[in-house]
Amino acid sequence: MRVHVALVCALEIPGEGKLSMRELRMIGSDIGLRDVASYIQSGNLVFRDESDSAEVAAMLDIALGIRMGRAPGVMVRSPAELRAVIADNPFAGMDQSRVSVSFFSRRLPADALNGIMAPGGEEAIAAEREIYVHYPLGSDRHRFSLPVLERGTPRSIETIIRLADLGRKLEAKS
């Protein structure tokens, strides 16, 4: 069975419908995912399933939509893909507590960074299905704006490292 990491959008945002990680794990188990584990209250699941990433994302999105009244959006990556995101981090030399990555379900268009506003010196770099952002003043004190980010789901580099490690450990149990 393949190991997958699901990144669910907007589970902890006020007004967007809060869902506990216990409920998220139960939904995953109810649709047949195996060895389901969650990591922090931001919608991260690590699990096994025979399906490919797109199929798993669709199954989870539908199940969550039924429970929450709207499909939140689910991005699925393999542990190897998360390790590649970490290795390709263009801001690796910066304070990693000030770097985040937004994940997208599809390849980003060439104009993904159009409309960027970075009054605090923020920098963004687009990859194939991710956008890396460096917040020199910290992500909690920024006024950075990039319209395309509304279609993705952000995670800190620290969270991505932890999810990749959890995925690797689950792979090792195979």
How many CB atoms lie under 10 A from the CB of residue 49?
23
> How far is Cα 81 from Cα 68, in angstroms, rounded to an integer?
28
Q: Give the pLDDT of residue 140.
A: 77
Using a 10 angstrom Cβ sphere, with 0-12 exposed, 13-18 middle and 19 or more buried, the burial of residue 37 is: middle
User: In DSSP terms, which residues pair with 156 in a beta bridge?
Assistant: 100
- 69 residue type, one letter: G
- Is 70 exceeded by the pLDDT of residue 11? no
Q: Give the pLDDT of residue 14.
A: 45
Query: What SS3 class is residue 153?
Result: strand
> How far is Cα 50 from Cα 148, in angstroms, rounded to an integer?
31
In the structure, what pLDDT confidence band is assigned to residue 144 with cuts at 50, 70 and 90?
confident
pLDDT in tens, 52-72: 999 999 999 999 999 988 899
Q: What angle do CA 49, 51, 56 make, to 5 degrees?
A: 85
Phi first, then psi, for residue 125 (nearest 5°) are -135, 125
Residues 148-162: what's their mean pLDDT?
94
Residues 145-158: what's their mean pLDDT?
93
Whether the CB-CB separation of 54 and 2 falls below 8 Å is answered with no
Q: What percentage of the chain reaches a pLDDT higher than 70? A: 95
Q: Give the pLDDT of residue 41.
A: 85
Q: Which residue is listed with tokens 């009244």?
A: 69
Q: Which two tokens stand for residue 163?
A: 């999810």
User: In DSSP terms, which residues pair with 117 in a beta bridge?
Assistant: 145
Query: What SS3 class is residue 92?
Result: coil
Tell me the pTM: 0.92
